Chains A and B, each alone.
Chain A
């Protein structure tokens, strides 16, 4: 059962990576990268059950936290060209 789930997630990963390679805009790639992150977390959880080592779940949790921060950082960088950009600075004269 877990092998089936792992195979399905791997198929989905291939599709998501294809989208990330094809683009065409940077936002398609970010969306695909975020999907790859989600699928990787699910794969880590399934893999933990497959090998009977639940420690993989901790890696999955950490990866979930890194995934959102990474995505938001990339989006902020492409929107403002600067990770230290502060919206409040815009309002000051």
Chain B
């Protein structure tokens, strides 16, 4: 019974991970410019990878394989933000500016409670 439950859970996790992986790549294609594309790519990096690896860990059971998968996941989580941040910094440095619907930077500088007017 537990064997069946574990099997079903790992099926669900792997299928969900595959879905989010494709969604991330689709977003990479559909988004209009660099900064919005980075948001889409981070779905693949975080949720897609996590679900796939958790599913595979359930298949592997308690073994060295599962620990290695965990290391790969931790590596993703440690390096993902570093790469994204470096990419954003280099892009801004090269004057690739994001297209904005709204820039709240000036508003954030004001003290709170000042923004009563619409």
Contacts and interface: CB of A to CB of B under 8 A. Distances in A.
Verify whether A and B have any Cβ pair under 8 Å: yes
A78 interface: yes
Contacts of B47: none
A1 B14 contact: yes
Contacts of B93: 79
Nearest to B79: A68
A18 B29 contact: yes
12 contacts: A1-B11, A7-B18, A15-B26, A25-B34, A30-B87, A35-B45, A46-B52, A49-B56, A57-B68, A58-B68, A64-B72, A75-B86
Contacts of A28: 34, 37
A34 B90 CA distance: 15
Interface of A: 1-2, 4-5, 7-9, 11-13, 15-16, 18-19, 25, 27-28, 30-32, 34-35, 38-39, 41-42, 45-46, 49, 54, 57-58, 60-61, 64-65, 67-68, 71-72, 75, 78-79
- Please tell me the size bucket of the interface on B: 35 or more
Task: Sort A-B residue pairs by CB-CB distance and give the 3 closest, nearest first.
Answer: A8-B18, A12-B25, A15-B25
Interface of A is mostly: helix
B15 A12 contact: no
Contact of A45 (B48, B72, B94): B72
Contacts of A19: 28-29, 37
